[in-house]
Structure 1
Amino acid sequence: MMLISLPTQQQQTNFKQAKHFFSLGKVFAKKSEWKKAIAAYRKAIELEPDWKEARQSLADAENQLQKKIINTQQQIEPSKKLKIVDRPLEKIPTQEKQESAIATVSNPVTVNSNFADEYHTNGDNLVEKGEKEEAIKAYRKAIEINPELWEVYHKLGNLLQEKGELEAAVTAYQKSIELKSDFSWSHNNLADVLVKLERLKEAVNAYSQAIELNPDFPWGYYKLGDILVKLEDWDKAIAIYRQAVTINPQAPWYFYKLGELLHQQGQFEEAVKYLYKAIELKTDVPEFYLGLGAVLVKLKQWSQAQEYLHQVIQYSPDSCQTSLLAQAYYYLGAIK
């Protein structure tokens, strides 16, 4: 059986960023901004190379861009362009200035939007280069020009969170949510910051909203369950962990968390079932054996308890596991 462990921090970060770029690609595609959509999809694929949906969306966007280019060429080629020599020289500057002035006055939103997009793109490029302080400035300038750019608020929140400016990050994420309430990652990232600020009840609301919008993301359930445990809301925590193992039945730590919580609540028989599953999925984690051994002691299944507790000793040979070893010996001492 192939063993599947909890995603690493880097894998989680890559997944979050890939989802973000994929969502941006969808936004640009709806606006028929195919070049921007293509760039966003390519970034998503760079972070998650095996994402079939992103690859299909990229192919669709490239096809649409190709059609647009062909259509434009077909419109331009049959018509004969007016050459400069065919126009009255004295009227050229005046006419061009008038057209420019009319465009600027009649459609200032378009002009401002273009400037904001430039700052937005510049901010993205600065992030790519690792110049995050300058990127923050660029994003702030973009939303100063066009305060309706929800994705810029989201990106700004990410950078501010990384920088440790947590209150400012909360404000940025909240503004992003105000402008686009159905983007799950703004809710998720807001919750992450609220946890750091120890505003746990608010974090529960934000994680819950993120899960509602993106119910197939098991890591959200895991984080929400942890917060509910801290708040000692046991029944809700158990319910959330149950959802997590249903959505991702190959994640051993989800089963362990659920088993431990059921053990804590005195539901020993059911706890055994989930702790067995955690070990089945990943056989070299001493915490899993300790958890199962402890429950079996409570159930007075002495021989089985002894077997699993000895596994803790086998997988915890070094001094960094002294706490686990101490607990294992404690439970072994309780065996009759």
Structure 2
Amino acid sequence: MTIGGSRRISTRFVLFGVGGVLALTLTLMGVAAWQSGVFNAKAQREVEKLVDSDLAHVAETTYQMVASQDALLRQVVEHNLNVARHVAQSAGGFHFAPETVTWNAVNQFTKQAQQVNLPKMLVGGTWLGQQRDPNAPVPVVDRVKSLVGGTCTIFQRMNAQGDMLRVATNVIGKDGKRAVGTYIPAVNPDGQPNPVVSTVLRGETYRGVAFVVDSWYVTAYEPIRDPSGRVIGMLYTGVKTESVDAVRKAIMNVRVGKDGYIFVLGGKGDQRGHYIISKDGKRDGENIWEAKDAQGRLFVQEMVNRALELKPGESFKMRYAWQNEGEKQPRMKVAMVTYYAPWDWVIGVSAYEDDFGTAFLRLQQGRRQMLWT
């Protein structure tokens, strides 16, 4: 064999060897890319599971915190209601005088006023009066305050429909006067039965949380009946609760991820779709029932309606685009939602997807580094 032929054979072997190495390298890179892709997808699913688990845990913890406070405060309110009932009965009970008195009754929701003539409501032989002066004595309600320190109001039924007028109270309004002369309508402005009035007209006691004048109260409304058993009014007691305020502050102080937070919406009646607790409390009381996400979906209505179907302690996950005041554009959020029925609280634990999307970005960067190093 000649020297030139030997060189050609050697070159073939070298080329064959290089081509084999390149083919093997490409094959290994393809396998590595496939494996890293599988790993990346699996890792993303694991991150999502961890996020969902954390949101669910916070939702459950918040639910249990509210439930614990509710149980404690109900005991206090029940005690106060028993005291109020005993004070009224000891004074001779409720009944009406033959004389009537004119009231300028103001709907507490619409603020519309109407003149009504009603029999004077008595406790024993004393007229409850139309007393707005906080320094003038009023039967029953002032005695309850001196004994237990809670708020107390006596309502008189205005008509067959069941509208309930405040005729005596120790609740002081923003004007510094007793908050009498306003009434709770039997039907809310949205056409739905008022939950307090409808419960009382059935002869039952309503219990729940309400925003009274300018603070949150845990409340109870008990029917007042005449000798025939007809409901003629309501006896209310409530506790202005620093503990509920503490729950609110604790909820507002929670941050989920970088910018996420817990919010609470009303589920039914006049507070349906209204913020009870908003981010930093800045939008409390605002009605967002008609709010739409970037795709035009009425996601608040969907969220509340789904929440009302939950059993105690259950939750569900929901995604939507949301834009807070001051933000330039919507951001995708994921929320774990639960519902505490006794307070009618739709509780949402929410986080922005781009907060935990940084984990996905790191995975993708790691994948590229793995392929090219």
Fold conserved (TM > 0.5)? no
Rg larger for: 2
Bigger fraction of residues in helix: 1
Structure with greater strand share of residues: 2
The structure whose RCO (Cα within 8 Å, separation 6+) is larger is: 2
TM-score (norm 1): 0.27
